[in-house]
Structure formats: C-alpha cells, structure tokens
Amino acid sequence: MKALGFAWGIGGVLLLLLFAVYRLAPMALALENSPMNIVHWAALIFSILFMAYTEGYKGFHLGFSPRVVKRANYLRNNPQIFHTLLAPLFCMGYIYSTRKRKLISIGLTLMIIGFVLIARILPQPWRGILDAGVVVGLTIGIASIVYFTFVSMLKPEAIRTSAEVPGEL
C-alpha cells in the first residue's frame, strides 16, 4: 500500500496535468493557421516567457512540484486507506493538509477555473497565444514533478519543502 499511494499520488497529478496539456495544445497549435501581426507575435513571446517563469518555475518548480512529491513521500511513510485511494487529491493538498494549504489549494483552483472560463471566450489568435503560454508552464510543471520524484528516490531529505500536513509545522 505504501508504494501504491506514492505512485498513484504522483501519477494521478501527472495524468491531470498531461490531460490539460492535451486539451490546450490544439488551440496553441491552431496559431499556425491564424494570421498574426507584430502585436500577436510579441504577445505570444510574452505569454510563453511569462508563463514559463511564473507558472512553470515559480509556481510549479519552487512550490507545487516539491510539495506534491513531499506529500507523496509522507503518504508512503504514513499510509492510510482513505488517503491512498484519494492520493492525487492528498498530494495536491485538498485533503489532510493544514487549513492554510487547503484554502490556498481551493483558492488557486477557483482562480484557474475563472481563467479557463475567460479564455474560452477569447477569439483566435488570442486564445492560442494564452494557451501556448499555459502549455509551456504546465510542461515545465510536469518535468519538475518528474525531477523531484527522481530526487526523492535518491535522497528524500533533499526536498526541504514542507508537506503541510496537520501537526507537522
């Protein structure tokens, strides 16, 4: 059960992110068929660089990814049936986490849903420009989770991020 919780937690989060990339990539790739002027190209470059840094590096690599892996390690070391069954939600901090972590996770989810709803009404090429940046950020996030997973297998104590479970802080 220990290995199952770890693998399902990380694997489930990766599947969720890969599904998002799968859904968004076609809109970004549709830019190829859209007429674009200099403003569109500048916005595309900005979107990709901005999302690579803010979403990919700052959001995922410095925060979300190490925490997901740290929580998966916690689950492996402290398995409970309920947590193992819901391991992806556990790893993302929706269950068995500090009040602050739950509020942040739920708040970020609501914010992302709001952005998705707004992005859906944007016409091309603007939607593709936005989606291209998001795909880059998510791809960096996926790579970051894989990176921290390997780090945790070699040297779990190297991940210094808190798992933010009740009573740990």
All structural domains of the chain with their residue ranges: 2-28+40-157
State the pLDDT at residue 167: 80
Spatial contact of 115 and 54, defined as CB atoms under 8 Å apart: no
pLDDT at 169: 54
The torsion region of residue 164 among left (phi > 0), alpha (psi -120 to 50) and beta comes to left
pTM, two decimals, is 0.93
Q: Over its length of 169 residues, how does the chain's per-residue pLDDT go in tens digits? A: 789 999 999 999 999 999 999 999 999 999 999 999 999 999 999 999 999 999 999 999 999 999 999 999 999 999 999 999 999 999 999 999 999 999 999 999 999 999 989 998 999 999 999 999 999 999 999 999 999 999 999 998 899 999 999 987 5
Kindly write down the DSSP assignment for every residue of 60-86, as one continuous string.
IIIIIHHHHHHHHHHHHHS--HHHHHT
Interatomic CA distance for residues 112 and 17, integer angstroms? 13
